[in-house]
Amino acid sequence: MALTEINFDGVVGPSHNYAGLSLGNLASTRNAGQVSQPRAAALEGVTKMRANLDLGLVQGIFLPHPRPNRAWLTELGTTIDAAGSALAANAMSASAMWAANAATVSPAPDTTDGKCHLTVANLRTMPHRSHEWPATLAQLQLAFDDTGHFVVHAPVPPAFGDEGAANHMRLAPAYGEPGVEIFVYGVSGGAFPTRQHIEASQAIARLHRLDPARTLFAEQSEQAIAAGAFHNDVVAVANGPLLFAHEQAFADRDRLIADCARLVPGFELVEVPAAEVSLADAISSYMFNAQLVSPPHGETTLIVPAEARETPSVWAWLQRHLAGNGPIRRVEVVDVRQSMANGGGPACLRLRVIADPAAVDPRFLVDHARLDRIAEVIERHWPAEIHNDNLQDVTLIHDIETARATLFAALDLGELA
């Protein structure tokens, strides 16, 4: 079985809007009430996926959830027409586009049963995300239905918050070799809630049958959460044996680095000092909310949002690192401004799964022709703009539901529609 990393990007849904629902996500709060551009947002995502294909990476997709979530509103005893504006906004959220929060993934080389395990995230901290998991689970169960290769788990009980791969990292000499899995959790975040509970992380490690000797639990620094790093992937990212992190990412930085050096052959740390890039600049630019990838015939590459290039301290640090022939040998810039304005960068938009692509339902994998088909549906059916005070408009809702149904039909995934 040839294991490789597959990046599954969330297709930005036709209800993409700026309701400012995510406490602790500074960009989401700052842009609340602005006019969104769902069509442009979704096409930005398609362009990012095309760039990944051009690098030689294997690319997958997850699809938009039903919006409004009428089933969830029914559970609350209301409808999209009758709901108050705040509840309606929660039911219309397109935040499932951030596939890094879809699940936590442990590849087969790390598990005692030799299967890739995926646990769908419960996302219980924020109302607008707490109702995502059933639709996400349905897609995971279909995409990874080969029981010889995958085990898909239901969410951890909602007493404990779990926000998926955004708080999980893996270090290994190579994708197909046994690795060390790092679960990052929060204890305190000042004025902001901590979203990943250690109890949830520990439960997932047990469910995934991980070796306790090769499983690390690291506390995210309170300073980072309070500064707006609501997920670990805003201040740290790992790939292969390389950890790229801000100096202030972890509460006990020295212990984590020592454990990684002890457990991971060839471990490398690229750490950005606070004196050179402040937490504020790192978070506003999403310097670390980047895709750190290993193209099959290329050099270790960091895929950053355009905002990183536009932040002087960040861009200067990256250029110095490249000039010094550090472990990151190439930086690629992508424009995902519509996602960034709602608080999600390149890393937020994708879930990394190390697996044999032949074991995945091919309808969830894309090439350029399949992306052409997706882009055509988006260009014809996604709304050009959504005003935040228009979320309960009957015509808009009809257009959103029609757009989603058209995409699922075009991709032969009607059983999920």
Quote the pLDDT of residue 232: 96
Q: What is the pTM of this model?
A: 0.96
Q: In what order do the strands lie in the sheet with 242-246?
A: 236-239, 242-246, 268-272
Neighbouring C-beta atoms of residue 273, cutoff 10 Å = 11
Q: Is the model's pLDDT at 28 over the cut of 80?
A: no
Q: Quick: pLDDT tens for 172-217.
A: 999 999 999 999 999 987 888 889 999 999 999 999 999 999 999 9
Whole-angstrom Cα distance, residue 399 to residue 377?
A: 12
pLDDT of residue 186: 95
Residue 295 C-alpha from the chain's centroid:
19
Distance CA 330, CA 315 (A): 13
The one catalytic residue in 117, 231, 246, 321 is 231
Q: Is 208 a catalytic residue?
A: no
Q: 236: pLDDT confidence band, cut at 50, 70 and 90?
A: very high
pLDDT at 26 over 80: no
pLDDT of 339-362, one tens digit each? 999 889 999 999 999 999 999 999
Estimate the crossing angle of helix 368-381 against helix 38-54, to 10 degrees.
170
Residue 260 falls in the annotated catalytic set: no
Is the CA virtual torsion 357, 172, 148, 10 positive or negative?
negative
Q: Is pLDDT above 90 for 31? A: no
Strand arrangement, sheet containing 150-153: 103-106, 116-120, 150-153
Q: So what's the pLDDT on residue 131?
A: 98
Q: Which of the following is catalytic: 44, 132, 163, 181? A: 163
Look-up: residue for tokens 């597959």? 6
Q: Is 231 a catalytic residue?
A: yes
27 pLDDT tier (thresholds 50, 70, 90) = low
What mean pLDDT comes out for the span 391-404?
98
